Amino acid sequence: MKITRQQLFTPLISVILSLITIPIFCVVIGLFSGSAMAQQPATESSSKAPENNEKYTFVIVHGATGGGWDWKTVAQHLSAKGHIVYRPTLTGLGDKYHLASPEINLTTHINDIVNMIIFERLNNIVLVGHSYGGMVLTGVMNRIPQRIRHVTFVDAMVPDDGMSMIDVKPLKPSYKVINGMIHFPWLKFDKPYPRDVIQSYKTYTEPVSYINPAAKRLDTTYLAFVPKGMSVEKRSRDVSWQRAKERGWTIRTFKGNHVVYRKKPAEFSTVLIETVTDENL
């Protein structure tokens, strides 16, 4: 039987084509399967709802006799986590000690913070205040509540409308007032700067305004420091704690003395961030 050239080469061509097609087909299948695998949902542990990684803008107001310098380490911890931090110094204190005067009052300090927020064009801020800083916070809340997302009173004074610092916490006999300036017993004049300094008596005697309905609606946290040896129950008897409770604010506690943030800045910073999502009752 005569075999044509076409009959001779057709099987050979088929074999060659099969040898080429099979690897290509496998590669294509592999590519599609790899793509499908890449689109598969992550493992159960990594598919959980992600943590809130929102970054906040903190404005920290220091306490009596202090300055922005006192919050530098806390600010560094917050910044390391991606947050923006402002730690202004109130007039006459800290690096503004050269402006110290017995004429400085609470309004001066409220203006310090309000103007900084306005001139820096800050909005949606987390306003934080320590100790006497609670008086300043109250005034700032009353003035520009629309620029604030949350307020945290850190072991701070919580005044009612028309109250002054000495109404909330009267000066002890050991707090000497000389030429209109308060000489607190913890001041160490022989220490190098930065350090605590004397403060105008008028910052303690001028009453604060707290009448703005919008200010009273701001979500606020009262973070109380509980010294070693003191029970939470005893700490809760404080008038500022009681006012915070009456207002429906979130109340948190942190173990340590009045300046524990100096010794535990990392732990404190973590708690401070957590307070931002607190909501009033």
Q: Give the percent of the chain with pLDDT over 90.
A: 80
* Shared-domain flag, residues 33 and 99: no
CB 134 within 8 A of CB 63: no
Q: Which of 42-51, 98-107, 126-135, 229-238 has the lowest mean pLDDT?
A: 42-51
* Shared-domain flag, residues 91 and 211: yes
The string of pLDDT tens digits covering residues 137-180 is 999 999 999 999 999 999 999 999 999 999 999 999 989 999 99
Domain that includes residue 133, residue range: 57-275
Note whether residue 51 is domain-resident: no
Mean pLDDT, range 234-239, rounded to an integer: 98
* Shared-domain flag, residues 26 and 149: no
The string of pLDDT tens digits covering residues 173-224 is 989 999 999 999 999 999 999 999 999 999 999 999 999 999 999 999 999 9
- For residue 22, the model assigns a pLDDT of 41
- pTM of the shown model: 0.81
CB 198 within 8 A of CB 65: yes
259 or 48, which is more confident:
259
Best CA proximity match to 202, nearest among 67, 65, 98, 101: 101
Q: Is the pLDDT of residue 57 over 50?
A: yes
Residue 198 exposure: Cα atoms within 13 Å on the Cβ side: 18
- For residue 2, the model assigns a pLDDT of 35
The string of pLDDT tens digits covering residues 85-94 is 999 999 999 9
* Shared-domain flag, residues 83 and 214: yes
Q: Which two tokens stand for residue 3?
A: 């075999």
Note whether residue 86 is domain-resident: yes
Structural element, H or E, at residue 153 = strand 148-154
- For residue 53, the model assigns a pLDDT of 86
CB 256 within 8 A of CB 230: no
Best CA proximity match to 161, nearest among 204, 206, 210: 210
Residue 126 exposure: Cα atoms within 13 Å on the Cβ side: 21
- For residue 3, the model assigns a pLDDT of 35
* Shared-domain flag, residues 7 and 110: no
* Shared-domain flag, residues 238 and 114: yes
* Shared-domain flag, residues 33 and 65: no
Note whether residue 122 is domain-resident: yes
- For residue 33, the model assigns a pLDDT of 40
Which CATH number fits the domain that encloses residue 155? 3.40.50.1820
* Shared-domain flag, residues 127 and 207: yes
142 or 34, which is more confident:
142
* Shared-domain flag, residues 188 and 247: yes
Note whether residue 45 is domain-resident: no
pLDDT category, 51, cuts 50, 70, 90? low
* Shared-domain flag, residues 223 and 181: yes
Note whether residue 49 is domain-resident: no
Q: Is the pLDDT of residue 44 over 80?
A: no
Note whether residue 171 is domain-resident: yes
Please spell the DSSP secondary structure of 64-125, one letter per residue: TT--GGGGHHHHHHHHHTT-EEE----TTSGGGGGG--TT--HHHHHHHHHHHHHHTT--SE
> Average pLDDT, whole number, for the chain?
87
pLDDT category, 41, cuts 50, 70, 90? very low
How many domains does one find in the chain? 2
* Shared-domain flag, residues 7 and 68: no
- For residue 83, the model assigns a pLDDT of 98
- For residue 52, the model assigns a pLDDT of 63
